[in-house]
Amino acid sequence: MLNALLNLETYATTTDSAIAQISVVYFDVNTKQIFKTFLANINPESEMKNGYYIDLDTVEWWDKQPKEIKDKLFVSQISIKEALNKLYEFIETDTILWCNKQFDPYIFTNAFKVENIYCPIKYNNFKDIDTLCYLANIDSYKKIHDANIDISNQIGRIISAYTKIKEPI
């Protein structure tokens, strides 16, 4: 099975949240090599017509983020349907998708459902980064909300935790 990392940036924190950015990166847990990447910035207007939720508090929170991070969300935006269709083609069969399991899978799978596109990840192939790190006694980190930085940090955490757990006692 291949390992990939999912990073979502959203305009709310509910399962029906509008997605601002989707990033998926395939990586090798033994070598740290990143070998396949997907990044899509989503046009929120494409989500509003299908009832995705945009929370005013979250939008205000985004307004307070550094300009260079906010500006990246508005580059080359595409519709949510186009992004999910491209993502469907991008994702390999039997991918293990690492993410924040309390947040990302619900928003991710809801978007596929709303857009009437088959979700390419099996429900039991979502794996939780925070639980893995907790079990390995790896510190949490502060999310920057920049896909490139956050993905690099998260992959480092996964590999550190995975390596620590696999070490002989």
3-state secondary structure string, the chain?
CCEEEEEEEECCCCCCECEEEEEEEEECCCCCCEEEEEEEEECHHHHHCCCCECCHHHHHHHHCCCHHHHHHCCCCEECHHHHHHHHHHHCCCCCEEEECCCCHHHHHHHHHHHCCCCCCCCHHHEEEHHHHHHHCCCCCCCCCCCHHHHHHHHHHHHHHHHHHHHCCC
- What distance in Å separates the CA atoms of residue 132 and residue 154, rounded to the nearest whole number? 11
Looking at residue 140, its pLDDT comes to: 73
* 99-117 pLDDT per residue, tens: 988 899 999 999 999 999 9
- pLDDT of 31 reads 82
Which pLDDT score, from 0 to 100, does residue 149 have? 81
- In this prediction, residue 144 carries a pLDDT of 86
Question: pLDDT at position 141, please?
Answer: 74
pLDDT of 53 reads 97
What is the pTM (predicted TM-score) of this model? 0.92
What pLDDT, on a 0 to 100 scale, did the predictor assign at position 17?
97
How far, in Å, are 79, 105, 139, 146, 160 from residue 20 at the CA level?
A: 10, 15, 27, 11, 29
The reported pLDDT for the residue numbered 167 is 67
What b/e readout covers 45-82, taking b as 16+ CB neighbours within 10 angstroms?
A: ebbeeeebbbeeebeeebeeeeeeeeebbeeebebbbe
Give the model's pLDDT for residue 78: 98
Question: In which residue ranges of the chain is pLDDT below 50?
Answer: 169
- The residue written with tokens 């999910």 in the block is 84
